[in-house]
Structure 1
Amino acid sequence: MKVILVRHAETEWNSRGIIQGREDSALTKHGQCQTAALLQAFAENGYEAESVYASPLGRTWNMGQVLAKHFRCSLVAEATLKEQAFGQLEGMSAEQFKKNHQDEANALFELDAEYCPPGGESLTQASRRIIDFLINLEKSGHYNAVCIVSHGHVSQGVLAILCDGNIDQFARYAHPNASYSVFDIKNGRCETIRWGIATHLRHLKC
C-alpha cells in the first residue's frame, strides 16, 4: 500500500510560534497558497489516492477536504491521526516555554520521545497509534494507495520509526507545513520512503 503523508498548511498559531496540539487555529493566507502549491505538485507528479484519511482537527480536516476533492475520492475522519497531545502547554508560546523550561523544551522538541508534557502524551505514544493505524489499514487490503493528513510533530516521530526502526532521531525528520512524504507499506513493513518533500513551497510569493 502506497501512503502519501501530508502535513496541514500554515495556521495562525504556526505563524506566531504557539503550541497547538489538540487546539486549533485558522489557516493563514500563506497557508492557502501552500495548499494550492501542494495540489499543483500532486497534479504534476501524477499522484493518486483511493481515499483520504484526515485528523478531525480543523486545520487537517480542511486539507483533507481539498485533497479528497483533488483525488476525487472519499474523506474519512480518523481520530488516531491527531497531533501529539501537549496538555497544559497548548496555547503557550514555544519560545516562552523554551525560555522558562529549557530542559523540558529540549526533551519535547529535540531529545526525548518519552517525555510527556503535563496533561498530555509522549511522542512515542502518539507516533505508535498512527503506525498501528497504518499497519492495520494495509492489512485490511482495501487500498493500493491512500493519502493521510496529519500534523508536524507526530509526523516526525512516525517518520523516524519508519526510516530508522526507532524514534530516537525524531528531531531530524522535519515535516514543514504542506510538505509530504511518500512510502510503501508491505506486510507491515515500510519500504521506499521519501520524506519531508517541500520543493513545491520554495518560490511562493504569498
Structure 2
Amino acid sequence: MSPAPLRLTLVRHAATAWNEGGRWQGLTDNPIGPNGEAQARALAAHLTPPYDLAFSSDLSRAVQTAELALPGHPLILDPRLREYHLGELEGLSAAEMQAHPGFAAWQADPWRTPAPGGNSLHALAASVRGWAEDLPDGARVIAFSHSIAVRTLLVDLFGLPLVPQPNYPIPYSLRVGHTERVELEREGQVWRKAESGGGTA
C-alpha cells in the first residue's frame, strides 16, 4: 500500500515597504508594512487550520505573515525557507541592478552563477527542496516563504524551463503574489500541483 499523500500549502509573505517601492530584498530582514498586515489578516479567512505542521522562513516578513494569518498556531522556523540571497543587489531596483558590474555575469547563467556576493538559484533550489523532501507522508503542512524561493521550488520539482524575462532579472515566467497560496501534493516520490489559492491584495 502506498503512503498517504502529503498535502502542502506554500504561502508567500505579505508586502513590505521595499516590495511596494520596487526594492529587491533577498535576505535583508524587513518587516511587513501596514498594507502587509492587512493582507496577512485577510489571508486568515482563506486558511483552514489546524495543520499538522506549520513552517516559516525565519525572516521577519514571513514570520509576521504566519503569526497574523494563523494566530496561536505552533510555528516551526526553518532557514531553508529563506529567500534568495542577492548579496550586493539587495535594496536595489531592477534597473539599478543592471548597472552593477557583476550583473552581466550573473545573468548569463543565474541558475549556476551566484548573484554578486550572494548565491545561485541552484543553491536556493537545493535548500528549499531539501526542506520539502524532509516532510512526512500523510501530513497536512503549511509553509510561509518568499517569492523566488517558492518559484524556485516549483521550477526544480517540475523541471520548468528557465525563461529570461524582459526588465526582470529572475528567469521564471510564473509569478506568486503577496499572500498567494500554492497547493502541492506528494504521493510517494511524485509531486503534483493541486488547486492554487489567490492572494489577498
When normalised by structure 1's length, the TM-score is 0.80
Question: Aligned residues, how many?
Answer: 189
**RMSD of aligned alpha carbons:** 2.6
Structure 1 runs of 4+ with >4 Å offset: 99-103
Q: Does structure 1 retain, via aligned residues, the 8 Å contact 2:179–2:200?
A: no
2:17 to 8, 12, 31: 12
Q: Does structure 2 retain, via aligned residues, the 8 Å contact 1:98–1:106?
A: no
One-letter amino acid of the structure 1 residue matched with residue 87 of structure 2: G
- The 3 A distance-change label for structure 1 pair 106 and 120 is closer
State the Cα distance separating 1:115 from its structure 2 match: 3.3
One-letter amino acid of the structure 1 residue matched with residue 93 of structure 2: S
State the Cα distance separating 1:158 from its structure 2 match: 0.9
Query: How far apart, CA to CA, are the structure 1 residues paired with 2:191 and 2:22?
Result: 32
Query: How far apart, CA to CA, are the structure 1 residues paired with 2:73 and 2:36?
Result: 23
CA deviation map 1:65-116 (0-9, x unaligned): 22442xx5320110111111111111222331135569639938xx742231
User: Does 1:152 find its partner at 2:147?
Assistant: yes
- The 3 A distance-change label for structure 1 pair 192 and 47 is farther
Aligned to 1:193: 194
Aligned to 1:104: 104
One-letter amino acid of the structure 2 residue matched with residue 172 of structure 1: S
Query: How far apart, CA to CA, are the structure 1 residues paired with 2:67 and 2:154?
Result: 24
**How is 1:1-206 mapped onto 2 (pairs within 5 angstroms)?**
1-42=6-47, 46=48, 48-69=50-71, 73-98=73-98, 104=104, 107=107, 112-138=110-136, 141=137, 144-162=139-157, 164-166=158-160, 168-169=162-163, 171-195=172-196, 197-198=197-198, 200-201=200-201
Query: How far apart, CA to CA, are the structure 2 residues paired with 1:8 and 1:105?
Result: 30
Query: How far apart, CA to CA, are the structure 1 residues paired with 2:185 and 2:125?
Result: 17
Query: How far apart, CA to CA, are the structure 1 residues paired with 2:112 and 2:34?
Result: 35
Q: Does structure 1 retain, via aligned residues, the 8 Å contact 2:103–2:115?
A: no
- The 3 A distance-change label for structure 1 pair 17 and 9 is same
Any gaps of 5 or more consecutive residues in structure 1?
A: 202-206
When normalised by structure 2's length, the TM-score is 0.81
Query: How far apart, CA to CA, are the structure 1 residues paired with 2:151 and 2:97?
Result: 20
- The 3 A distance-change label for structure 1 pair 200 and 87 is closer
Query: How far apart, CA to CA, are the structure 1 residues paired with 2:12 and 2:199?
Result: 14
One-letter amino acid of the structure 2 residue matched with residue 146 of structure 1: V
